[in-house]
Amino acid sequence: MAGCLWPCVTGGGAAADGAGSLFRSKARGPVEVVRHARELLAFLAENHDACGDKRDVKREHKMVDLAKSIGEMKSILYGNGEADPVDEACSQLTKEFFKENTNSLHLLVVCLPYMDLETQKDVTQVTANLLRQKVDYRMVASDYLEENQDLLDVLMSGYDNMDIAIHYSAILRDCIRHQVAARYVLESQHMKKFFDYIQYPDFNIASDAFKTFKELLTRHRSSAAEFFSNNYDWFFPEFNSKLLSSSNYIIRRQATQLLGDILLDKSNTTAMVRYVSSKDNLIILMNLLREQSRAIQVEAFRVFKLFTCNPKKPPEIVGILVTNKSKILRFLADFTIEKEDQQFEADKAQVVTEISAM
């Protein structure tokens, strides 16, 4: 993807308002709206290089028109202040949007960087809705994504562009709700890049990347389990070094919580058993228990208890636990949480029993 980093439209908002009032009385059907938007997108995809010193009046008009068309699509799909959306209209719009050989979604994604912020937000919302629509009881979006997995590559590259990262990440997250898309991403090399995206200094981009990362690893259990099984040898060491040991407090906290979610999921029992049999992993978790942050301590304890309750503990694990027995018991005696939680107290009691018996 090449082209200008910033949309060249100026005064688009005001013009759009004017355009809105001018054409308000004319209401187009959903099919017509989609076709018109597609024509505009095709033009924009071909002519985006015009950006720069030269101001293209024709192109600007088309940008305004496109913003209006996308607004109309949104109005159909979400309703407006007074009316709820009409199912038949939504269905027609979705069918036309995903019609074969039209590639509307790809066009929309490719052209997004050239739109103004408001239109970008509308696109995100329109896309989220379309990816959930059913036509004749079929998830047409799933079929589309299965045939056009290269779109996911485009979306993944969005993290390299700070202006569009948030929008692409949101669209990607909606795409991977479909298992075909999630499986594709999990099997790709993109998974390794997430460890870098999550460490961006910009809080919004980093947290959105983490959100997508978490979705990939928890939504489709069978695909996730398969991923952990096939990639255990590089994934968890990377997880430990870049996330659990990060110098960034928020990353440590998020990662510790996610680790608990992954290991406590029954689908991931195989990975869990391997993880709690590793001395290196235990050391990391015990260090997290010593954090000043109570929130991190609570999350770390969820994983730590799995080490202690493992009936087949390796000797090196037992050795570490025995060596630190008195310290662990003293820590647990003082370890409390603000809200009364019976499950937490029961878990703590069980851990104390296990440690004491060693």
Partner 1 sequence: MAKAWEKVATAAGLGGSGERRKYPIRVEDYELYEEIGQGVSAIVYRSLCKPLDEIVAVKVLDFERTNSDLNNIMREAQTMILIDQPNVMKAHCSFTNNHSLWVVMPYMAGGSCLHIMKSVYPDGFEEAVIATVLREVLKGLEYLHHHGHIHRDVKAGNILVDSRGVVKLGDFGVSACLFDSGDRQRARNTFVGTPCWMAPEVMEQLHGYDFKADIWSFGITALELAHGHAPFSKFPPMKVLLMTLQNAPPGLDYERDKKFSRHFKQMVAMCLVKDPSKRPTAKKLLKQPFFKQARSSDFISRKLLEGLPGLGARYLALKEKDEVLLSQKKMPDGQKEEISQDEYKRGISSWNFDMDDLKSQASLITECDDSISCKDSDASCFYDLDTILPERATGPHMSRVFSIKYDTDTEYINAQDYKRGTCKWPGQETQLHRNSKHQINIHNRDKCNGGPLQVADEPSPEAVPKVPKSSAANVEDHDDRSKPPLIQQRGRFKVTPGHVELDKAHSPGLQKSHSMQAISHLPSLSIPSSIEAASTIIGGSLYMQLYNVLQTNMLQREQILHAMKQLSGCDMAMTSPACIAPASRASSPSSALSIDRSLLEAAHEKEKELVNEITELQWRLVCSQDEIQRLKAKAAQIWNSTGRIEKVCVNNKVFGGVEMETFGISDKKNNGEIIL
**Which DSSP string do the residues of 129-184 spell out, in sequence order?**
HHTT--BTTB-HHHHHHHH-THHHHHHHGGGG-TTTHHHHHHHHHHHTTSHHHHHH
- Hunting for tokens 């045939």 — which residue is that? 147
Q: How far is CA 106 from CA 68, 152, 153, 164, in A?
A: 19, 10, 11, 15
The reply to whether 234 sits near partner 1 by the rule CB under 8 A is no
Tell me which of 89, 295, 320, 337 binds partner 1, using CB under 8 A: 295
Which of 91, 218, 277, 293 binds partner 1 (CB under 8 A)? It is 293
**Which CB, 87 or 153, lies closer to partner 1?**
87
Identify whether the C-beta of residue 178 lies closer than 8 Å to the C-beta of residue 131: yes
Q: Which range, of 60-68, 76-84, 143-151, 233-241, touches partner 1 by CB under 8 A? A: 76-84
Residue 297 CA, distance from chain mean position: 25
Q: Which of 202, 280, 316, 341 binds partner 1 (CB under 8 A)?
A: 202
Q: Is 299 in the site for partner 1 (CB under 8 A)?
A: no
- Which is it for the CA torsion 157, 159, 163, 168, positive or negative? positive
162 belongs to the binding site for partner 1 (CB under 8 A): yes
Contact region with partner 1 (CB under 8 A), list: 58-66, 82-90, 103-111, 218-226: 82-90
For position 19 contacting partner 1 by CB under 8 A, the verdict is: no
Pick the closer one to partner 1 by CB: 52 or 81. Answer: 81
Measured CA to CA, the distance from residue 282 to residue 322 in angstroms comes to 13
How far apart, in Å, do the first and last CA atoms of the chain sit?
A: 60
Residues that bind partner 1 (CB under 8 A): 6-7, 10, 77-79, 81-82, 84-85, 116-118, 121, 125, 128-129, 131-132, 160, 162, 166, 174, 196, 199-205, 207-208, 211, 248-250, 253-254, 257, 293-295
